[in-house]
Amino acid sequence: MKKIIMMLVAGAAMACGLAACSDDDTTPSGNITPADQLYLPRNNATIMLETGNITHFEWAVSKASKNGYITYELLFDKVGGDFSQPLYVLTSDNNGYEPSAKVASSTLNTVATLAGADLGETATVKWTVRAWCGLNSEIYGSEAGVRTVSLTRINSVDPMPSEIKISGGITEGQKELTLFAASVIHTAKGKYTDQREAGAYEIFTKLTAGELIITDDLNRNFRLAEKNRMELIKDNEATTAVTVEHDGIYWLYVNFSNMTYKFKEISKVELFISSPGNKAELTYEGNGVWGIMDYAWNVKEGGNTDSRHKFICTYADGSSEFWGHFEDDCRDSEKSEAEKNPLFYNIFRHTFSNQWDNTWKVNEKEREGYGKKVSFWVHMNNTDDDLFLLERSLGVPLAVNMQGSATENQEAIALNKALPVLVAKGSDDLNVGREASIFECFTQLSSGDFSITDDKGRYYKLDASNMTFAIAENPVTNTVSKAGIYWVALDFNAMTYKMREIEKVELWNKPWFGNKLSETVEMSYEGKGEWSISDYEWYVTDGSNKDTRYYFICTYVDGFKERWAYYSDDCRGPQNSNPGNYPNFYNIYRFDHSKLGEWDDSWKTLNDSEGLGKKATFHIYMNNTYATDYKHTRSFK
């Protein structure tokens, strides 16, 4: 009903307006007295039609007899036109009732095109206003009511490309390379987000001297012209290539919103340590990646403990920019990797000069990387991540392998992130993660040699005299003098290692009091960190013995014992053995056996349904092959 009433009111107002502008009026213009006065833009103004820009047109208010309603149109015409057949007409703001109009650059671009301007060219047109009252109209026709304006079309393309590639014999690997959406270069510190420039593309790459071809997804070619202007190469033009004068590493940026480009040679990329301001040059590794390995960055205990760092890119023309963290202060540095902001390792570019802001930190609370040789890689491409990406190794590799004549089946063994050995019994809320800097494996070794390498191809040499190890300058091997089953652990923070021979692994299940059966039975090593025992008569029956508690004991040759056991001091919920109830029920946690009570941290079965009077089979998986966690399985028959 409200809508109907408003329509009736509007209709009545229109009727009143028409009546007010009746043919009986005797004013000079019939019904309207045009103001004949234009305000904005100024006469002979030049407007660059940049994408997204708005131009404000304003004029004086006209009057109608008997207080009639006036509406306006903005008219454009050629310089020699009389507005009888204008090039373009548009209604003013507020459905024509405002004496002004906000005109988008896209609309003015259409006007310039109708006036004959090609891409990158300028057309001069004149403009005026037409006032309406009902069916009658008057054009602002005096000298003050007509102005000219020059419209310069951007040297753009239509339609805009959605993909840009460069090719030619001078590209890296002589391959066709795809540019990626251009990143925003920030000018002030702050908390940055993933911003890209609309219509702009860029690439960091190595080029040799020669000819480069720039092509879009519509098979159009472009040239890099003078004054950083980019031009569309027409079909009838002979040359389609861009000449690169000399070999170098370059940043190429092309913007199709205004048909401009930047093509700058990169002199160097440096790691910048905020305190005391040290710099170290990175090596270009290809595909937009720079790296520095095993750099002694002098962040250490008893010295400089400020770990803030970012990177400086210096161009051949003397200009430079920083490649830094997304926040002005690195607030997530002490959080776990899973808890860090997803943008933590992404690289953002900025030009403001401040050695402290938008830098990364390490976990200074944990002294991460202190006193170590560190490695950094900056990935300025869209191959490794959607955004530019920092990869860093603070003395700790991402992966470690052992391989040689001494390893099982002479195959490569991937070490796992180490599971700590706990010195107190567990609890229902026990939450133990892997060690960040220690790698380990349970494996069989033969007499012979083996090498230790990491994900970056570095070799490590063990020193048995003090149980330390170090990075080797050249490929080296280590020697096993005695064959056996070993636990090997390498601590990349302390640069120390342990190599303990395992005497045996046993299943522990305490028979009911008075039973003469042994409490433990030895398990067989199956290879690759796995032990098992099959068809074991563990004498859990429907009679007097229904105690199903069990765990595993690993005894080393040096006498130390570990309990491989349940996470909690008591298995209060054996029904959780269904993985759907508690998926980590079968996970193995490591404890110092001597620190726990006899019954602590043992598993149970479901007394009324599982394993009673049957033979038991157990498998232990102390590796990351069966699952990402150390686990065991059990079955009964």
- Cα 308–Cα 312–Cα 316 angle in degrees, nearest 5: 170
pLDDT of residue 319: 96
Q: pLDDT at position 3, please?
A: 35
Q: Give 173's contacts (C-beta < 8 A, 6+ positions apart).
A: none
The C-alpha angle with vertex 221 and arms to 220 and 222, in degrees rounded to 5, equals 125
CATH architecture of 2-153: Sandwich (2.60)
Buried b (16+ CB within 10 A) or exposed e, 466-505: eeebeeeeeebbbebeeeebbbbbbbbbebebebbebbeb
| Sequence letter at residue 625 | T
Q: Which residues make up the CATH 2.60.40.10 domain(s) of the chain?
A: 2-153
- Phi and psi angles of residue 403, each rounded to the nearest 5 degrees, phi first: -155, 145
Mean pLDDT by 10 residues, the chain (637 residues): 33 39 44 92 92 89 88 96 95 94 91 89 96 92 92 81 93 93 89 85 96 93 88 77 92 90 97 92 97 88 85 98 94 88 94 91 86 91 80 88 97 95 88 87 98 93 96 93 98 92 95 68 97 87 71 98 94 72 87 95 79 88 81 92
Radius of gyration of the chain (CA): 39
* pLDDT value at residue 207: 96
User: What pLDDT was estimated at residue 609?
Assistant: 65
197 token code pair: 């420039």
pLDDT at 19: 39
In the block, residue with structure tokens 């595909």: 287
pLDDT of residue 37: 95
Burial class (CB in 10 A: 0-12, 13-18, 19+), 328: middle
Q: Tell me, what DSSP letter sits at residue 11?
A: H
pLDDT at 172: 94
Structure tokens at 504: 């045996």
Can you tell me which residue has the tokens 């300025």? 380
Paired tokens of 239: 């040359």
CA distance 69 to 62: 10
User: Do the beta carbons of residue 264 and residue 250 sit within 8 Å?
Assistant: yes
Query: So what's the pLDDT on residue 10?
Result: 37
> How confident is the model at residue 516, as a pLDDT?
63
The residues pairing with 448 across neighbouring beta strands, listed in sequence order, are: 480
Residue type at 370 in one-letter notation: Y
Residue 62 pLDDT = 95
Q: Which two tokens stand for residue 144?
A: 């003050």
| β-bridge partners, 281 | 270
Q: What is the pLDDT of residue 300?
A: 79
pLDDT of residue 29: 42
